[in-house]
Structure 1
Amino acid sequence: SSDIPYYNLPLSGVFDLFSALRIRKIIREESIDIIHVHNFKTLFSIVYAKILSKKKPKIILSRHLIKKAKNNPLYNFLYSKIDKIIFVSNMAREEFFLSNPRIEKSKTLVIHNSIKPQEEKANTLNIREDNNISEYALLVTFTGRIVPDKGVDILIKAFSQLKPENTYLIIAGSGEEEYLKELNKLVVECNLSSMVIFLGFVKDISSLIAQSDIGVFPSVWREPFGLSIIEFMQGGKSVITTNNGAQKEYIINNETGILVEPGNAEQLSNSLKTLINNKQLREEIGQKGKIYFEKELSYEQFYKKIISTYNI
């Protein structure tokens, strides 16, 4: 909204007193009650500002990583100044506490991420028309950052084991240039040039999802919480993803999606084959995923949980 004040601050970490002084002024002038931050680097200036202020706003941190907490005097000082830490998954919370940081678990909670409802609008993207694809062909789609952690190379290898008729692999997203070159080379080596389409960055993801049949997210790293996955669930599309991250917290294997081992191209290929060859199963999993999303992961629930946290 244009009437919300916006401030551009360095927020550069432990020695950033300039940002702290600016934030102290903002706290005083705007009568701030709550400050919600999303990483520890930002938190330093926020904590300094609170110490320097007469008004003492509550500090809430959202943790978006699966990573052990730093356990040293400096960070234990930060933990003592936080009112709540919100983790995006149980796995993220459990990993954080493995290093025994000096913060009470009662000051932490888990709120799964969500996405806003898709607005009704005309498609700005027509994959089939733009790429001369038959309306009867299946579209297997990956969306996200094109980086090694996302396992897109595993997906291409899995697809090459099938070479399914009348099926296309759509890869949407931008990322590391060298990795993209490797993927393009792999497509050529696997004789998949006519079956794999790189779209680059796609703004209208909802149009892409609507035209897709299967969403595949073969991450080889532990996903703290995969937004791309729940976008497909929201759209009623079946999904295949890996079982090494927080996906297990919202994907019930063979019900709301299919889980596979990370880096296992053969297992991924078999799961793709199952969904490609079984329209009924594909649609059932998509609908169950959508029902689960609406019941457990809707933006309305997410919003209520965040607001409830603000009322500490």
Structure 2
Amino acid sequence: MKVLIFNTLYYPNSIGGAEKSVQLLAESLKEKGINPVIVCTDKVEREDYVNGVKVYYIKNKNLYWFDQEQKNNIQKSLWHALDNYNYFIKKKITWIINQEKPQIIHTNNITGFSMMPWILAKENKLPLIHTLRDYSLMCSKTTMFKNGENCDFPCKECKLFNFYKQKLSNENHVDHLVGISQFIINKFKDNDYFQGVPSTRIFNGMELSNRSKINPEFNSFDRKIKFLYMGRIEKAKGINKILEEISEIKDVELYIAGKVKDDEIKRNIQEGKYPTNIKFLGFINPKEIIPKIDVMLVPSLWHEPFGRVIIEAYSYGKTVIGTNLGGIPELIVQGQTGFIYNPKESDSLKNIIKGIISNPDLLKSISNNLNGFITKFDSELIASKYIEVYKGVIDKKAIKN
């Protein structure tokens, strides 16, 4: 079986979890005898192989390539209009379809392609599955988060920019919908996307075979318990909340890894306003820091569809504390793999941290639970689930045609 997989970006142009997840899926599919072919956007048009997977890098055919901060409102509006139906990219995608002759098309994030992969799949009578990895089909900022609040539904601007995308989602272009959490599936369906389209939740996968041994040896905790936040350092990620709460707790160490995007936090770092038990590490490879900490913090204030860092922490046997928002609660079993808190409730996070400090044996108990739990995110299992969906959609399409 040959599957043509579309994603906005692909290695080496990785900026987030979607690119990592799509790459791992493609390589896992190949190991299982499926022939994946990737189509992504780039500044330069070329073909290449990445770990044995064929990749088409299509040159950007819009006004610019993902640098909206530098553009005025008119340019942004034109960019979004073209990202609904981009005729200029049609010829190249058509050529790739004719060249590769896939049995199925699998779209993921398709910003930069416009809706052309869906349109051409239907024109060529090819079965199509789509994986929801962010809110880009519904929200121009991709996060459904504005002015410090989560959006229950698209604002007027997003409705205007994405009207055509919503329309196509309900016109039999997509044969099966996959969501990396049930939350993101429900979010789209509740806002009148993908009505009548069958759906399946398939988590993002992780390569577990080369990870550290789960059940790491804990010492007697005659030291401060070490907490880690890893990700973009900005308000939507809830970083301000943990800085505020942990500043008041002296019996722990907090490590913060990632690029600082919040101007206030930048100033506070420069002026030395944070206590010495809070350390900013900058960008660091997860393998270098996660084994050295005890608890991962995931304090997102926006409805994050998935939390890849949660699974990464589990793979090292680490407890996770996360908010009750988005897809995060689907990844944490309360008291067994970690703890869930409500960021709107005062002291809710602080009380969990104090509970761990008073009973650090909780961390050993949770680490023991992770042996079985982590297997549901194994990349080979995730690939098998996608293959099952592929086969089901192909068979159903064949009967229909």
Using the size of structure 1 for normalisation, the TM-score is 0.82
Letter in 1 for 2:105: I
Paired residue for 2:302?
221
The one-letter code of the counterpart of 1:23 is: I
Task: State the distance in 2 between where 1:215 and 1:278 align.
Answer: 17
Unaligned runs of 5+ in 2: 1-49, 63-82, 136-143, 145-152, 213-220, 394-401
Matches of residues 113-192 of structure 1 in structure 2 within 5 Å? Answer: 113-117=204-208, 119=210, 136-164=223-251, 167-178=252-263, 180-181=265-266, 184=269, 188-189=272-273, 191-192=274-275
- What one-letter code is carried by the residue in structure 2 that aligns with 1:170? Y
Matched, 1:238 2:319: yes
Question: For each residue in 1:2-41, what CA deviation from the matched residue of structure 2 results, as whole angstroms up to 9, or x when unmatched?
Answer: 6524322326522311211101001111222332222354
Does 2:180 align with 1:93? no
Q: How many pairs are equivalent?
A: 290
Could you say which residue in structure 2 is the equivalent of 1:129? none
Residues 1:289 and 2:358 aligned together: no
Instruction: Find the aligned partners of 2:55 and 2:319 in 1 and give their Cα distance.
Output: 41
Percent of residue pairs identical: 24
**Shift of residue 173, structure 1, vs aligned partner:** 1.1
Pick the aligned partner of 1:25 from 71, 84, 95. Answer: 95
Q: In the alignment, does 2:167 pair up with 1:76?
A: yes
Q: Tell me, yes or no, if the aligned pair for 2:166 and 2:192 is still in contact at 8 Å.
A: no
2:309 alignment partner, SS class: helix
Please name the residue that 1:126 is paired with: none
Q: How does 1:39-50 map to 2 (within 5 A)?
A: 39=109, 41=111, 42=113, 44-50=115-121
For each residue in 1:24-83, what CA deviation from the matched residue of structure 2 results, as whole angstroms up to 9, or x when unmatched?
00111122233222235435121343355xx54332211123665869566323442112
Where 1:283 maps in the other structure, the secondary structure is helix
Q: Answer yes or no: is the 8 Å Cα contact 2:225–2:294 preserved in 1.
A: yes
Distance 1:177 1:102 in 2: 36
- 1:244 Cα deviation from its structure 2 partner: 1.9
In the alignment, which of 335, 342, 360 is matched to residue 279 of structure 1?
360
Query: Would the aligned equivalents of 1:50 and 1:57 in 2 still touch at CA under 8 Å?
Result: yes
Partner residue of 2:56? Answer: 6
Q: Deviations over 1:110-138 (max 9, x none)?
A: 111222126269xxxxxxxxxxxx99443
- Which of 129, 136, 161 is matched with 1:60 structurally? 129
Q: In structure 2, what residue type is equivalent to 1:303?
A: A
Question: Given the superposition, is the C-alpha separation of residues 6 and 181 from structure 1 closer, same or farther in structure 2, using an over 3 Å criterion?
Answer: same
Give the Cα–Cα distance (whole angstroms) in 1 for the partners of residues 327 and 348 of structure 2. Answer: 19
Q: Is the 8 A contact 2:169 2:194 kept in 1?
A: no
Instruction: Quote the Cα distance in structure 2 between the aligned partners of 1:255 and 1:109.
Output: 25
Give the match for residue 109 of structure 1: 200
CA deviation string 1:265-312 (max 9, x = no partner): 622112112223322111212332343122x32222211112222222
Select which of 197, 202, 219 maps to 2:284: 202
Partner of 1:130: none
Higher mean Cα deviation, 11-20 or 151-160?
11-20
Distance verdict in 2 for CA 1:2–1:102, change over 3 Å? closer
Aligned to 1:303: 383
Contact 2:211 2:315 in 1 (8 A): no
Residue among 231, 244, 248 paired with 2:329: 248
- 3-state SS, counterpart of residue 134 of structure 2: coil
**1 CA distance for matches of 2:89 and 2:381?**
33
How big is the alpha-carbon RMSD for the aligned residues of Structure 1 and Structure 2?
2.8
